[in-house]
Amino acid sequence: MLNTSFELPCGAVIPNRLVKAAMTERLSNTKFEPTAAHEHLYCRWAGTGTGLQITGNVIIDRVHLESAGNVAFDDDGMLPKLQSWAKAAQHTGNPCWVQISHAGRQANRFSTLRPKAPSAVQLQKLGLFGRPVPMTEEDIQEVIAGFVQAAKLAQAAGFSGLQIHSAHGYLLSQFLSPLTNQRNDQWGGSLENRSWLLLQVVKEVRAAVGASYPISVKLNSADFQRGGFSEEESIEVVKMLDTAGIDLLEISGGTYEKLAFFLMNDESSNLRESTRQREAYFIDFARKVRAVSKVPLMITGGFRSRAFCEEVLEKGEVDLIGMARPFITNVNEIASFLSGETAVLENLVIRTGLAALEDAAEGGFYARQLIRLAEGQEVNPGMNPIWAANFLIIHELKKALTRRLGL
């Protein structure tokens, strides 16, 4: 089934069931535009034969960057460069969607010292994030308008669809969580109120792009934090999205404070053995989603064997298989994985032996390898993990300084 096509509710067809899931590229120029490196990277990924590519965080507000290297879809003047990116990514005929996002309180100090967020709940991580300013009603309406503008640009540029990012602790995810949303107005309090911004964004974006343009939502199964967005709440939001007119739901989990990919690879973490044995990170949660929703379902995280991909597709547990890091470290094996010649993709885990640096080392390693691919180089699996742990901070600082100096 991995090589069978899949038709979405809007009528769009995904040529096969393997999806290159979103990963932040950190490659934009000083004007927040895509570069030749984006085109090279996505052209290479398209050549793997994957049925769908989803871009990394494309930001709707260039003050609230997830990375200093983000592309920002907020200026019609960059349309020619967006068109070049879309053309390169889709040169094989398979679609590429744009993931649109707002970092909220997860915008680091290199982009803003006072990020706007639902409430003034600061992210405590290596001192890299400022204390947020609670959003006003005007701010919230500007966010909705920003998502709409980004969606229109994605469509005008020739990208085949889009994904609204409401996971991993970014702004829409922050509104969903009672830990980060402590408002007492119509945007906070009850789950219905906390979900209202996501639902309004979906509604307005759908009105802007029309009924036949694919819209996906990426949603956390949980934040993995006590008192945060829970599985039970996520299921209720799934029910709301079931009637909201989306074409695909991608399930993920975690925030900057609790990174899902790290927790799932950590043998000391408190995971059910059944979850470990089933390879994919969120497959148990998928069953609960299937029980309440008819929206096509994609899960990203943990898939490594072709046999397991086939198993969950045959059982109808998911409709699409999302992979991210294998498109970096196993990029040369993706085509043979699809054809059946490669049975298993390596799950490369990076560790320093220092607890405080482990998640930074793994994140930095994959970020640097992605940039190597974009520059036309090959992956360097022997990269020093201690150096990798510092890479993101060094890269963000250099990108931010370059932009401010206009270099």
pLDDT tens, residue by residue, 20-66: 999 999 999 999 999 999 999 999 999 999 999 999 999 999 999 99
The average pLDDT across 186-196 equals: 98
117-148 in b/e burial notation, b at 16+ Cβ within 10 A?
A: bbbebebeeeeebbebeebeeeebebbbebbb
CATH code (residue 276): 3.20.20.70
* pLDDT for the residue numbered 261: 52
- C-alpha atoms less than 13 angstroms from C-alpha of 372 in its C-beta half-sphere: 17
What is the residue range of 217's domain? Answer: 6-350
How high is the mean pLDDT of the chain? 92
With respect to residue 380, please indicate whether it lies within any of the assigned structural domains.
Answer: no
* pLDDT for the residue numbered 356: 76
* pLDDT for the residue numbered 267: 46
* Residue 290: φ, ψ to 5°: -60, -30
Total domains in the fold of the chain:
1
CA distance 242 to 249: 9
* pLDDT for the residue numbered 269: 44
| pLDDT tens by residue, 272-301 | 444 444 467 788 999 999 999 999 999 998
With respect to residue 339, please indicate whether it lies within any of the assigned structural domains.
Answer: yes
Burial class of residue 405 (count of CB atoms within 10 Å of its CB; 0-12, 13-18, 19+):
exposed
With respect to residue 388, please indicate whether it lies within any of the assigned structural domains.
Answer: no
* pLDDT for the residue numbered 274: 46
The pTM score is: 0.94
With respect to residue 97, please indicate whether it lies within any of the assigned structural domains.
Answer: yes
With respect to residue 381, please indicate whether it lies within any of the assigned structural domains.
Answer: no
* pLDDT for the residue numbered 392: 87
Percent composition of the chain: helix, strand, coil (DSSP 3-state, to 5): 40, 15, 45
List the beta bridge partners of residue 251.
219, 299
Which residues are CB-contacts of 241 (< 8 A; sequence separation ≥ 6)? Answer: 199, 202, 217, 219, 249, 293, 295
With respect to residue 317, please indicate whether it lies within any of the assigned structural domains.
Answer: yes
With respect to residue 375, please indicate whether it lies within any of the assigned structural domains.
Answer: no
With respect to residue 268, please indicate whether it lies within any of the assigned structural domains.
Answer: yes
Q: Give the chain's end-to-end CA distance (angstroms, integer).
A: 49
* pLDDT, greater one: 152 or 264: 152
- pLDDT exceeding 90 applies to what percent of the chain? 78
Q: Is the pLDDT of residue 88 over 90?
A: yes
* pLDDT for the residue numbered 2: 97
CA angle 192–171–106, rounded 5-degree value: 145
Where does the pLDDT of residue 352 fall: very low under 50, low under 70, confident under 90, or very high at 90 and above? confident
